[in-house]
Structure 1
Amino acid sequence: MPAPSEQFTYVGPDDIRAAVVRPGTTGRAVRSPVGLREWLDGAGPADREEPFTYVVDLTGTLLLAPRRSEHVACAGGGPVLAAGEITFAPREDGGWEVTEVSNQSTGYCPDPETSWPALAEALDRAGLARPRWFTQAVVFRHCPRCGERSLVKDGDFTCALCESPLPPRPVR
């Protein structure tokens, strides 16, 4: 049995949350290949040409929105089990597969190790083929000195803003 998933709360700017979150509105719940096809059929051609924004809500459901959407809007302002960007392609058997997936969400800064199990389970339940791991895993840290959210690049745990050391493990 997999370990319980960690919840990630929104850590991005409050003005973005206030501008984009609308009561009762979230991304499109995708629970099957048919549900994905229906959503893709309704998306504009430009939306289908780039990755989508995704979150996994607290019920373990995959929610999708166009890429230019904020993750916090896709989540309806609430906490998530996973968040990032995802690309799908049709399979010869009529199903769908994930061709690219990341945990790239500066609004939630999900840890790859703890968000992947929730995403993998949501994709499996929806019947969508997936890779064994993120095709791009992003490591986020909060700088204890300046409070900024930072991306760790090339294993360099240094804040890009104030050049202070970043913690080696996620701050919970």
Structure 2
Amino acid sequence: MTRRYAYVGPGELHGLAPVGVGVVRGAADLDAWLAARDPRELAEPFTFVVDGGGVLRLAPRRSEHVACAGGGDVLAAGEMGFVRTAAGWRVDRVSNQSTGYCPDAAGSWPAVAAALTAAGTPHPGGFTDEVVFRRCTACAARNVVHDGDLVCAVCAAPLPEHWNLGLS
């Protein structure tokens, strides 16, 4: 079963218009989108989502994931970096870092791998940086868990052991 992640971030960001989004269905799409970037942008990872149709969408790093997704649910979200090789572009770093969608690493990686494979883009085979998200059951705050410390950063209540943010 492929998980779909609903947007769980701040409501005021939900209506943002997408800016500079590249839709990547193949290597030519990726090459064209990355070639249009300022070379300084290539040093940083880009915002990405895998949309509900399994297509990779990229945006400049400081873009909101929900805007990159056009406001819809996603199969994955995070940040992704690329390096140019003799054979073309390859992903050298990728994370599930998206505080707007808070995707579970294990549940979202298969969609990332499938989208990159469909686009003919080599990748590391898993997230190079995994972020652990939990919602506090006491105060409802979204938390990024650091070093396995399952304690809410807002109210100090214990956090659930398993991912518990909204599935759509």
Match of 2:53 in 1: 59
- SS across alignment from 1:5: coil
Percent identical among aligned pairs is 51
Match of 2:7 in 1: 10
Query: How far is the alpha carbon of 1:49 from its aligned partner?
Result: 2.2
Contact 2:81–2:94 (CA under 8 A) maintained in structure 1: yes
Distance in 1, Cα, partners of 2:77 & 2:41: 18
Which position in structure 2 is the counterpart of 1:40? 34
Match of 1:21 among 8, 17, 21: 17
Normalising by structure 2, report the TM-score. 0.93
Q: Which of 137, 144, 165 is residue 137 of structure 2 equivalent to?
A: 144
Quick check: 2:22–2:59 contact (8 Å CA) kept in 1?
yes
- Detail structure 1 runs of 4+ shifted over 6 Å in the superposition: none
2:95 paired residue number: 102
2:150 is matched with 157
Structure 1 alignment gaps of length 5 or more: none
Give structure 2 stretches of 5+ with no counterpart.
Answer: none
Alignment size in residue pairs? 165
Tell me the TM-score normalised to structure 1 length: 0.91
Q: Distance in 2 between matches of 1:45 and 1:98?
A: 16
Aligned to 1:31: 25
Contact 2:135-2:141 at 8 Å conserved across structures: yes
Checking the alignment, whether the CA contact within 8 Å between 1:26 and 1:76 is kept in structure 2 is: no
> Higher strand fraction: Structure 1 or Structure 2?
2
1:87–1:100 CA contact under 8 A, matched in 2: yes
- Residue 26 of structure 1 deviates from its aligned partner by 8.1
Q: CA deviation at 1:145?
A: 1.1
State yes or no: 1:129 paired with 2:126: no
Supply the distance in 1 between the matched residues of 2:93 and 2:157 (Cα, whole angstroms).
32
1:80 alignment partner in structure 2:
74
Question: For 1:15-70, what per-residue CA distance to the aligned partner results, in whole angstroms no more than 9, with x for missing partners?
Answer: 1223x236xx7831111222111101212233222100000001100000000100
Residue 68 of structure 1 aligns with an amino acid whose one-letter code is: R
1:97-156 Cα offsets, whole Å, 9 max, x none, are 110000000000000011000000000010000012100011100111111110111111
Question: In structure 2, what is the Cα distance between the partners aligned to 1:16 and 1:142?
Answer: 19
